C-alpha cells in the first residue's frame, strides 16, 4: 500500500526515509489556525496533526497509509511558534536561555483501507545553557532559527545551546522514529 507523508518538512522527510524506503509526499493545506489552543498542549498537537492527515485523506482516491505530525515548543505552557522575523527570533531565544522548555509532537497515522486512525503525542524536555546576546545575534544571522518552532534546530547549529535533553531526540527534530515505528505496526 502506498505511504504518504503529509508534510513539506525536509527534516521529517529525511527522518521517515530512515524508517521507510519508499513514500510519497503530499503537503496538507489544512489551516492550523482552525485548531484552538485550550490549555492542553497534548490535545492541541494531536488535533493539528489529525487535521493535516484528514485533509490528505479527503483528497485521495486510492487507499494509503497517511502519516502526519505537528511539533511545537512550549515554555511556561505558552506555545512558541516559528518566529515572525529576526526580532521575534531574538525574543524567543532570549526567553529559552538558561531554562527548561518542552517540545511536543502529535503524530497521526491513518490506514484508509481499514479506516483506522492512530493518534499519539509525546513530549521531550530540553534545557538550554546560558546564551549571550551576541551568540543569539550570530545564530540568527545563519537564518536557521527563522523557520523552526522555538527558533532553533537541535540537529543544526542550534544544538550548541542545548545543555540537556530528557526524552526522544528525534521528537525535537520533528518526528519520533520510535513512536512512529510502533504506530505503523498497529495500523497495518
Q: Which cell is 152 given?
A: 532553533
- Detail the DSSP E strand segments found in 76-156: 78-80, 100-111, 116-128
Cα 121 from Cα 168, distance rounded (Å): 12
| Cα R_g (the chain), whole angstroms | 17
Q: Which cell is 153 given?
A: 534546530
Write down the catalytic residue from 29, 31, 42, 70: 70
Cα 80 from Cα 93, distance rounded (Å): 10
**133 has catalytic annotation:** no
Q: Among all residues, which ones are annotated catalytic?
A: 70
Amino acid at each position: 500500500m502506498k505511504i504518504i507523508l503529509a508534510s513539506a518538512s525536509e527534516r521529517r522527510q529525511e527522518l521517515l526515509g530512515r524508517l521507510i524506503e519508499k513514500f510519497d509526499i503530499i503537503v496538507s493545506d489544512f489551516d492550523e489556525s482552525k485548531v484552538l489552543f485550550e490549555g492542553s498542549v497534548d490535545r492541541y498537537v494531536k488535533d493539528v496533526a489529525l487535521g493535516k492527515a484528514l485533509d490528505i485523506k479527503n483528497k485521495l482516491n486510492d487507499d494509503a497509509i497517511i502519516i502526519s505530525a505537528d511539533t511545537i515548543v512550549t515554555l511556561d505552557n505558552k506555545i512558541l511558534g516559528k518566529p515572525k522575523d529576526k526580532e521575534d527570533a531574538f525574543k524567543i531565544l532570549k526567553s529559552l536561555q538558561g531554562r527548561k522548555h518542552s517540545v511536543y509532537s502529535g503524530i497521526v497515522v491513518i490506514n484508509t483501507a481499514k479506516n483506522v486512525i492512530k493518534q499519539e503525542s509525546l513530549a521531550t524536555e530540553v534545557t538550554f545553557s546560558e546564551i549571550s546576546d551576541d551568540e543569539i545575534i550570530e545564530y540568527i544571522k545563519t537564518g536557521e532559527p527563522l523557520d523552526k518552532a522555538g527558533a532553533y534546530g537541535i540537529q543544526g547549529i542550534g544544538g550548541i545551546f542545548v545543555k540537556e535533553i530528557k526524552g526522544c531526540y528525534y521528537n525535537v527534530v520533528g518526528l519520533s522514529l520510535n513512536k512512529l515505528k510502533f504506530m505503523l505496526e498497529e495500523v497495518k
